[in-house]
A and B are shown apart, each in its own frame.
Chain A
Amino acid sequence: GQNIDQPTEMTATEGAIVQINCTYQTSGFNGLFWYQQHAGEAPTFLSYNVLDGLEEKGRFSSFLSRSKGYSYLLLKELQMKDSASYLCAVDGGSYIPTFGRGTSLIVHP
């Protein structure tokens, strides 16, 4: 089976930095995705990691350690519009990703 774990909810202040962690146990590994989902909207793709290390894309960065079964999404210079749910999804070898429950991020002034 596959297990993906991420915190249920986080809060942060506008302008700050927040790190959302994701741990996983899967039988195989083809890559890890992060998606953003605003309330009432569809998930949208943020990042994809398949090799260890940090991938930076503007204010958002994603890190992967395959040996530790661990990833994080780093959001810098937080804005109010970053309030959303952040979904970690892992392709455990089937080419179809399994999603975690999502982390609801609340950004306050």
Chain B
Amino acid sequence: ETGVTQTPRHLVMGMTNKKSLKCEQHLGHNAMYWYKQSAKKPLELMFVYSLEERVENNSVPSRFSPECPNSSHLFLHLHTLQPEDSALYLCASSQVRAGADTQYFGPGTRLTVL
């Protein structure tokens, strides 16, 4: 399999559930990202793992918890979410080097919180 893959593609969960989103990149990149995409809003960067360091957007609630066990895998653990967290969650990867990096996106997980 090539590129960036994400599972599941669709997820419906209640506010008391705990679930995890998975992302895997097959491009040999050394940075991975989680984005949230809501209707009519810009892509919102949630977390970055780059060269084994984590960078996060301080506005992301603690009910979202990332995990990056190695450079090819990225998880987003979800617990006690709110209905406003319903959105498309996109994973991306890139090869960090001097200068801006092109990001390659996975197909996304469409999350609905009831």
Q: Which residues of A pack against B, CB within 8 Å?
A: 4, 30-31, 33, 41-45, 48, 50, 87, 89, 91, 95-102
Q: Which residues of B pack against A, CB within 8 Å?
A: 4, 33, 40-43, 45, 48, 50, 55, 90, 96, 99-108
Flag if B99 contacts A50 (CB, 8 Å). Answer: yes
From residue A24, how far is it (CB to closest CB) to chain B in Å?
12
A42-B105, A44-B105 as given contacts; A101 in contact with B42, CB under 8 Å: yes
From residue B23, how far is it (CB to closest CB) to chain A in Å?
11
Cβ–Cβ < 8 Å partners of A89 in chain B? 43
Further pairs besides A43-B90, A98-B42: 17, Cβ < 8 Å? A33-B100, A33-B102, A33-B103, A42-B106, A42-B107, A45-B102, A45-B103, A48-B100, A50-B99, A50-B100, A89-B43, A95-B99, A95-B101, A97-B103, A99-B42, A101-B40, A101-B42
